[in-house]
Amino acid sequence: MNPFEQAMRMELEAEKLYKNMAEKTSDSKLKGLLIMLADEETKHYKTFEKMSKNLALGDVASFDIQEVVRKVFSSIKEEKKRYNFSDEQVALYKKAAIAEDRAYEFYLQKAQEIEDEAQKQAFLAIAKEEKKHQELLENLADFVESPSIWLESAEFYRIIEE
């Protein structure tokens, strides 16, 4: 399997995972974040699909996910809602963070192996996005594991103030 097909498979699996996670949460804000992540993985899939066919890539960059996250968590904090998540949900967020880290590492490695400069830059750009996804998912995993503690933590304030 060539690196583009491998990347497409990884992106498709991530998209499915996020959609599955979205189905398992009743909170509309978290559901929105998960759908947004699924949509991002779809965009990455399409970029790798173009690369596999040697088509022009266009702009690979995406929107500012951190700004969306800041707004969502600020809104969650303001609501003062009591959250309760299952162990299964916590495990899914942790699994997703690990998958994003693997994708990040894979894309960095493939960027070093590819000679085409546009494709190399695309791999690097998507790797950078995957790193942001990983950081978000680690924070979400911490949040779903201990919602009230996390919302009072320094990590929460770091996210909303960046």
pLDDT digits (tens, 9 = 90+) for 110-136: 999 999 898 999 999 999 999 999 988
Tokens 């969502």 identify what position?
72
Mean pLDDT check: name the lowest of 74-83, 125-134, 150-159: 150-159
Number of H helices, E strands in the chain: 7, 0
Looking at the structure of the chain, the number of domains it has is 1
* N residues, the chain: 162
Which residues span the domain enclosing 91?
A: 3-53+61-161
pTM: 0.88
Question: What was the pLDDT predicted at 158?
Answer: 58
Question: What was the pLDDT predicted at 146?
Answer: 84
Identify the helix (H) or strand (E) that includes residue 129: helix 117-145
What is the sign, positive or negative, of the torsion defined by CA atoms of 20, 21, 25, 30? negative
* Domain at 90, CATH number: 1.20.1260.10
Q: Which residues contact 10 (CB under 8 A, 6 or more apart)?
A: 99, 102, 103, 106
